[in-house]
Amino acid sequence: TLHQERRKHEEEVQEKIEYHDGKVEEVLSDGRRIITFRDGTKKEISADKRMTTIIFSNGDVKKIMPDQRVIYYYADAQTTHTAYPDGLEVLQFPNNQIEKHYPDGTQEIEFPDHTVKCLYSDGLKETFFPDGTVVKVEKNGDKIVVFSDGQREIHTAQFRRREYPDGTVKTVFCNGRQETKYSTGRVQIKDEEGNLILDKK
C-alpha cells in the first residue's frame, strides 16, 4: 500500500521545482503546493491559497485556516493551541483539560472532571464545581462558597460565617468567639473557649 500511495502521489505531481538551498516545491494536479525544506519540514498550501499546513520535523503541526484561526499542535506535549482572530486563545491538553485565554485578560480553565475555574483580570477567581457548588475568591482574599443546597460560607480575615437556607447564621471570629443567630430570633454567643456567654431567646 505504501508503494501504491507513493505512485499515486507521483501521478498527482504536475511540476517539481528544486531550489539551490535544498528546498523542493511540488505543484499537484489538484492545485495544492507542497514545499519540503532541507530539515524535513513540509508546508502545504491549498489550491485556493486559503489554508496552509506546516508539518515540522519534530512532529509539530501548524494550520492557518481560511477563517484566520491558527491551530498549532505540539507533538511532544500532545497539546493543541488555537488562536482566533478576535484574540481568544484555547489550549487543549491530552488529559482533556481546556484553557481559554480571552483578550480582556480573563482565563477560563475546564478540568477533566468538568470543574470550571475563571480568573478575571480584576483579581476575582470563581470556581464552578460539577455538584453545583460555586467558590468566589475576591482580590483581597475574601472567599464566598455557595453550596448547591443553598448554604453559603463567607471567609474573611476577621471571621468565618455560615448562612443556612432557614436563615440561621453562624459566625466564628478570628479570636475564636462564636455567634449563632437563629431564624427564630434566638442569639447564642460563646467565648473563645466555647463557654456560653449569651443566650437570648
pTM for this prediction: 0.76
Whole-number Å distance between alpha carbons of 126 and 116: 8
The CA-atom distances, in angstroms, between 118 and each of 14, 82, 103, 159, 194 are 52, 19, 14, 25, 38
Amino acid 108: pLDDT: 97
Among the four given CATH numbers 3.10.450.750, 2.60.450.20, 3.40.50.2300, 1.10.8.870, the one describing domain 10-85: 2.60.450.20
CB 13 within 8 A of CB 30: no
Residues of the chain above pLDDT 70, percent:
95
Mean pLDDT, the chain, as a whole number?
A: 91
Q: How far apart are the first and last CA of the chain?
A: 87
5 or 167, which is more confident?
167
List the one residue out of 113, 117, 78, 77 whose CA is nearest residue 101: 117
Amino acid 199: pLDDT: 85
Whole-number Å distance between alpha carbons of 177 and 158: 11
Report residue 101 as a C-alpha cell: 485565554
> Quick check: 11 pLDDT over 90?
no
Domain boundaries, the chain: 10-85
DSSP 90-108: EEE-TTS-EEEE-TTS-EE
122-132, pLDDT tens digit by residue?
999 999 999 99
> Quick check: 116 pLDDT over 60?
yes
Report residue 51 as a C-alpha cell: 489554508
